[in-house]
Amino acid sequence: MNWLSGILSSILVRRKSSDNNSNTIVYPLSWIVFPIIGFVFFGILLGVFIFIPDFIDQSDIVFVFIFFFGIIIAFICLSIYMARWKVQVFDSYCIYTTALKKTRKIAYDHIESRDVSSGYRFYIDNKHIFSVSYLQDNYRSLDKAIRTYQKNNNIKIVKSVKNVLKPIQGLWFLPIASLVIIFIPTISIYVDEGLSTGFFISLTFHMITIFLFLYMANWKIVFKDGILTKTTIFGIKKTYDMKHITYIVSQRLMHPDDTRLYYKNKKIAFVMGNVNNRSELLETIDHFNRRALSENSKL
């Protein structure tokens, strides 16, 4: 959710973060305005469609109600998330509060902080805990506190797993949202029209949801001993000799570190810029490329 709200705010608010004396990282109040506006806008539209029959064919009222009510619920959840989410920063630990008001005290002894283009991402044992956007006030404070504490206590974080790339867990939001958005119209069409042409056409859009679920569940890259193994969304594994792999880093979706992998100049994979262990993969590819170049120069 951090990356989504960060994108919305950077486009709509154009604000810059500021540092103050507070030890708390929260979402700016100005961000909450947008889901509230969305809630009011779609609420008014839903009221118009329900209470003024001339605006819409009443045979479609079930579909309209379900669709708009789902959007309104989404805006309400987003507003609650932004209002409740926060991180309180202290010298040796932080307190993380979720949208459900569950709090978690996290000591700095095992936290890994990663500086990414959108802010900071925090991990424990290679598992993502939460992220902080560069558009949030005091967003640097937690990273600074962690690094200071670990330096003063001679703590060095070593990744337990650094040769495996998987989609970031936050992207499960996409297939779930796609399922809800597409499923509701399909059910509405079935209720109104039965097994009509429109119903079967709507089923084709579920291919998007299936693709997203397969990507999140199966896509993976593992590199070890000079061999890269890629698992496709269909669970098919392919292996490549890393000395023949090259890459290009350029923004393709939303991240400036989006990476395309090539095997003998043929594209074999696309890696999103915020995927865990991406930098370790690129360092390993560079190592094998330098070694292959050195071997060729001796021939």
Across 70-97, b (16+ Cβ under 10 Å) vs e yields ebbebbeebbebbeebebbbeeebbebb
- Judging by beta carbons within 10 Å of its beta carbon (0-12, 13-18, 19+), is residue 8 exposed, middle or buried? middle
Does the model's pTM come out above 0.85? no
Task: Identify residue 42 by its one-letter amino acid code.
Answer: F
173 and 157 both lie in a single domain = no
The DSSP bridge pattern shows strands 127-133 and 164-165 to be unpaired
For residue 23, what pLDDT is reported?
86
Per-residue pLDDT of the chain (299 residues; tens, 9 = 90+): 444 444 444 444 444 555 556 789 988 777 777 778 887 887 777 777 666 666 666 566 666 677 777 777 878 888 888 888 899 999 999 999 988 889 999 999 989 887 765 678 888 877 788 888 877 888 889 999 999 999 999 988 776 667 888 887 666 777 777 777 667 677 766 666 667 776 677 677 777 788 888 888 899 999 998 899 999 999 999 999 998 999 998 866 666 778 899 999 899 999 887 777 888 899 899 988 888 777 777 66
CB 42 within 8 A of CB 72: yes
Paired tokens of 242: 């890393």
Among 138, 165, 192, the domain-final residue is 165
127 and 197 both lie in a single domain = no
201 and 126 both lie in a single domain = no
The alpha helices in the chain, defined as continuous H runs, are 2-12, 29-51, 61-84, 140-152, 173-193, 197-204, 206-218, 278-298
The CA–CA distances, whole Å, from 155 to 81, 108, 144 equal: 33, 9, 14
3-state secondary structure of 228: strand
Q: How far is C-alpha 292 from the geometric centre of its chain's CA atoms? A: 36
175 and 155 both lie in a single domain = no
CATH number, domain with residue 182: 2.30.29
DSSP secondary structure string for all residues of 130-175? EEEETTSTTTHHHHHHHHHHHHHTT-----S--SEE---GGGGHHH
Among 143, 165, 187, the domain-final residue is 165
Farthest-apart Cα atoms in the chain, separation: 82
For residue 204, what pLDDT is reported?
74
Paired tokens of 93: 């630990």
In angstroms, the CA 130 to CA 1 distance is 10
For residue 227, what pLDDT is reported?
93
Torsion of CA 265, 211, 1, 80, to 10 degrees: 170
16 and 38 both lie in a single domain = yes
Paired tokens of 64: 């309209």
For residue 50, what pLDDT is reported?
67
Among 141, 165, 189, the domain-final residue is 165
In angstroms, the CA 132 to CA 143 distance is 10
277 and 178 both lie in a single domain = yes
52 and 27 both lie in a single domain = yes
For residue 72, what pLDDT is reported?
79
232 and 292 both lie in a single domain = yes
140 and 256 both lie in a single domain = no
The CA–CA distances, whole Å, from 212 to 2, 233, 238 equal: 20, 9, 20
89 and 215 both lie in a single domain = no
12 and 155 both lie in a single domain = yes
Close Cβ partners of 182 (under 8 Å, ≥ 6 residues apart): 202, 205, 206, 208, 209
18 and 152 both lie in a single domain = yes
- Domain coverage including residue 38: 2-165
Number of structural domains in the chain: 2
Paired tokens of 10: 């950077």
